[in-house]
């Protein structure tokens, strides 16, 4: 997939070193659920090789360089949990919003996702801004596991339902 500035593509085994270097930064890993700290290249290889069947994961490329990951896990009810991270050198430029918007459009229009859910750890204000820009609505509070910190932390939860115009197109096709 292409956006105005980014290419979203399949994550490959050869991405592991770059994933480990970017996601292994404490400031990135400590705000995610699944990224350990420290994050070795071997662990990144294991993650790439172990992506689940219902996991749609895209590498985010800027000018041919991987800068982050965005994707979702689809459940049997048509809901999908959105997740993303951007390497610290690329923060504050709108890349997470741009990539996630494209991934969500793909999920809604091509895979029939009826609702995206997501959460961010309390204190992750940058992720809160991305979620707001994507049109998510708050649904409450919860906890979220943080692999880097090895504990559950308070989190805020959100949802974004498929736009009704996409639902009409899906029925018509």
The pLDDT tens digits for 27-69 are 999 999 999 999 999 999 999 999 988 899 999 999 999 999 9
pTM across the whole model: 0.93
38 closest CA partner among 123, 150, 143, 119: 150
Going by pLDDT thresholds of 50, 70 and 90, the confidence category of residue 111 is very high
pLDDT, tens digit, for every residue of 63-107? 999 999 999 999 999 999 999 999 999 999 999 999 999 999 999
CA 54 to chain centroid:
14
Going by pLDDT thresholds of 50, 70 and 90, the confidence category of residue 173 is low
Spatial distance between the Cα atoms of 154 and 72, rounded to a whole number of angstroms: 21
Compute CA distances 30 → 4, 17, 27, 158, whole Å. Answer: 29, 19, 6, 20
CATH topology assigned to domain 7-172: Aminopeptidase (3.40.630)
What is the model's pLDDT at position 163?
87
Spatial distance between the Cα atoms of 84 and 96, rounded to a whole number of angstroms: 7
Q: Contact, 47 vs 19, CB < 8 A?
A: yes
What is the model's pLDDT at position 53?
82
Strands 79-86, 151-161: pairing kind: unpaired
Q: Contact, 77 vs 135, CB < 8 A?
A: no
Q: What are the domain boundaries of the chain?
A: 7-172
């Amino acid at each position: 997939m292409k956006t105005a500035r980014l290419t979203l593509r399949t994550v490959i085994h050869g991405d592991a070193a770059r994933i480990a270097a970017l996601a292994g930064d404490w400031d990135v890993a400590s705000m995610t659920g699944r990224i350990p700290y420290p994050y070795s290249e071997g662990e990144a290889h294991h993650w790439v090789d172990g992506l689940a069947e219902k996991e749609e994961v895209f590498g985010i490329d800027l000018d041919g360089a991987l800068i982050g990951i965005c994707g979702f896990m689809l459940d049997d009810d048509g809901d999908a949990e959105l997740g993303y991270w951007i390497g610290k050198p690329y923060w504050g430029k709108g890349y997470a919003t741009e990539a996630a918007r494209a991934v969500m459009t793909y999920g809604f229009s091509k895979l029939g996702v009826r609702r995206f859910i997501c959460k961010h750890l309390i204190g992750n204000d940058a992720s809160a801004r991305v979620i707001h820009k994507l049109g998510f609505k708050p649904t409450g509070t919860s906890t979220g596991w943080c692999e880097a910190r090895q504990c559950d932390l308070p989190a805020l939860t959100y949802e974004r339902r498929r736009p009704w115009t996409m639902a009409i197109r899906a029925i018509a096709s």
